[in-house]
Chains A and B, each alone.
Chain A
Amino acid sequence: MIKIEAATKTYALGRGVEIAATRDVDLEVARGEFLVITGRSGAGKTTLLNLISGLTRPTSGRVLWNGMDLWALDDAHRSALRNRQLGFVFQFPSLLPSFTVLENVVLPTAFGSNRRDPNVPGQAAALLQRVGMAGRRNAYPRQLSAGQQQRVVIARALINCPEVLLADEPTGNLDAETEREIIELFGELQATGELTALMVTHAPHLVPQASRVVEMAGGVLRAGG
């Protein structure tokens, strides 16, 4: 479903100095797979997710979605693909502060063809129920704990029924108990649907549901776990 061919991403540091965040990465992810990407800080895990999602362009190599080169698409088509087929869970607080929980969950629909779909609020409510946040639908992000915010972000990631869920250290800012709850929630979501999940985490041992674990080190991908 997702294929990365010899993807290298370098960043210019100025004065002609460049740093490679990923080097010749090859990766193939099958539909329904739960892939865990692990590695130390600065290993290139986030860059790999950004390459997969088309948020950053590889300096060399290709990123294919169902055989289609992401960077052969224009911005509108690439954005539409992210909107309809991808769900994101970030490490940092990514809810919009002036939006309520429910508004944050339906936010991705503002950029899709379902923006006027009358079923969207009902779907959002059902997702909030599923992540245990039904009672806080009218709360603002500042009124929620970090764990509650991540639950809302997960609901937001699922509002467009994506095929792929990308999670970049979703439990990085959470305490151990909440971390376990969130990872369990991921496992449940992934197991109950046909969702393909890619999760970056420092703690792969907490993800027993993972179908495969790979490790990034110095921008190079290798089989891990």
Chain B
Amino acid sequence: MSPLRLVWKNIAGSAFRSWAVFLCALVVGGLLFSTVLLVRGAEDSLRLVQQRLGADVVVVPEGTGDRVETALLMGQPTKVWMPRQNLDRIGGVAGVAIASPQLYLASLANAPCCTAEMFVMAFDPQTDFTVTPWLNRHLGHNLGLAEAIGGSDVFVPYGEDKIRIYGSEIDLVGSLERTGTGLDTALFLTFDTAYAVADGSYTKAVRPLEIPPDSISAVLVQVEPNVDPRVVALQIAHDVPGVTAIPGSGLFQAFHTQAGLLSRIMAALLGTVSLLSLLLVGLTFSMAVNERRQEIGVLRALGATRRAVLHSLLVEALMLALGGGATGVLLAALVLYLFRNLIVASLMMPFRIPSVPSLLALAAGGLAVALADVALAVLLPALRASNLDPATAMRE
């Protein structure tokens, strides 16, 4: 008979203890995995969207910073406007290398003219540094009239070959990499296309697309080399009235803070659960050792060494922890995958599923913590069991 068979029999023979350890490991492993995955996914998204925008400073109408950030991260369409002349004033601020205007629009929802409600970003191909580099790399040319590229979740509807925005048909010529943010559901097109769609909307759509004359929504700024974007942002705010200038490092600060807060709350929850599991598993195994004193004495009489008794209890606990931890990680992954949209909407946080190696590392981390938690809890009772005097144990 192999010692593992003995361990397995003990697991099968004590349903309460086995389930207690299994469930504790499941909760610890699953919670750790989901916590780190959520926070890591949010931070990855924030980093990626900052990279995607590529702006050192983002200038928006005064007081609309939160709305624009939410639009970019959560894909909630927004319409904000400021005078186009701001573009020239921003371009004239010392330290500004490039200033590129953008229009933030929303397509119509549930209208026969349109595919679906989408956040639409129009850019100026002459100055743009957000989409144009990608276009040059992947398409070899910029967007033409009535052409657009979409985020990873933008598709041409089934049975059609174009996207319809305010009644105008748009060719979807490419899709961007997933970011886990609102940019995944956004449509990117040129100013010319945006104005053409707006002009056509008066006859083709149930409601016209109104773009106020000589207006823009935002200006993305790249600063000159060795210039501090924070200084440039302060200078823009000073020189251009009625705008909010957000340096790249300060972009999505509220979301970073939220991710940090979520991280701290989840860490506290995880710490509490781990401690409770430690106590529960420790108590359960202490009770088991007390109940099995005579049995442990018999095993020692039959030739089990102290080390064999210690190993047997530790392996029993670790097998349960491995099973529970792995189940917890798998369940957490499944829940996060199935309900990711609901979770993202509830937490008001962007989320991007990390790469497979990152996921595997997270899963291994979740398992390792569950195993360590259970091993720590079982160590004392197992040591006590292995040091029992067999003769005394059998007599009780």
Contacts and interface: CB of A to CB of B under 8 A. Distances in A.
Interface stretch (B33-41, B252-260, B304-312): B304-312
B302 A108 contact: yes
Contact of A76 (B298, B307, B391): B307
Interface in B1-38: 1-3, 5-6, 9-10, 12-13
- Interface of chain A: mostly helix, strand, loop or mixed: helix
B83 to A, nearest CB: 82
Contact of B2 (A75, A108, A116): A116
Given A107-B1, A120-B1, A82 B303 contact: yes
Interface residues of A, number: 34
B210 interface: no
Given A82-B303, A111-B304, A115-B1, A98 B6 contact: no
Nearest to B302: A108
A55 B390 contact: yes
Of the four ranges (under 10, 10 to 19, 20 to 34, 35 or more), the interface on chain B belongs to: 20 to 34
A107 B2 contact: no
A111 B302 contact: yes
Contacts of B298: 88, 90, 94, 96
A50 B307 CA distance: 20
A83 B12 CA distance: 25
A76 B300 CA distance: 11
A106 B5 CA distance: 11
A200 to B, nearest CB: 14
Contact of B1 (A76, A82, A90, A110): A110
Contact of A88 (B1, B302, B306, B389): B302
Contact of B10 (A47, A50, A79, A98): A98
15 contacts: A46-B391, A55-B301, A55-B389, A55-B394, A76-B307, A79-B303, A82-B300, A88-B301, A90-B301, A94-B294, A96-B295, A96-B298, A110-B1, A110-B3, A110-B304
Interface of B: 1-3, 5-6, 9-10, 12-13, 294-295, 297-308, 389-392, 394-395
